[in-house]
């Protein structure tokens, strides 16, 4: 199993992350896991929207078509 953990905080507590990682290793059958802080990427301007760094005015308007 692979488990991806999205963190909701810009600066999570390192001791809390270590405690969570140790509990995952000791009490579950999860073979691989990763911690990632929450980010949003603007498809139009190709830059990150980090929590507390930029306003939502940089988001792509709903009337602009986005090619994937």
Distance from chain centroid for Cα 48: 11
Torsion of CA 3, 7, 8, 14, to 10 degrees: 150
| pLDDT tens readout for residues 4-51 | 888 876 677 889 889 999 999 999 988 899 888 766 655 666 555 565
Handedness of CA 8, 9, 14, 19 (dihedral sign): negative
Its pTM stands at 0.50
- The pLDDT of residue 43 is 63
Q: How many CA atoms lie within 13 A of 17 on its CB side?
A: 14
């Amino acid at each position: 199993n692979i488990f991806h953990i999205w963190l909701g905080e810009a600066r999570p507590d390192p001791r809390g992350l270590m405690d969570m990682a140790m509990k995952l290793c000791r009490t579950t059958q999860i073979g691989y896991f990763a911690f990632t802080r929450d980010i949003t990427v603007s498809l139009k301007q190709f830059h990150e929207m980090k929590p507390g760094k930029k306003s939502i005015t940089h988001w792509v308007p709903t009337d602009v078509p986005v090619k994937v």
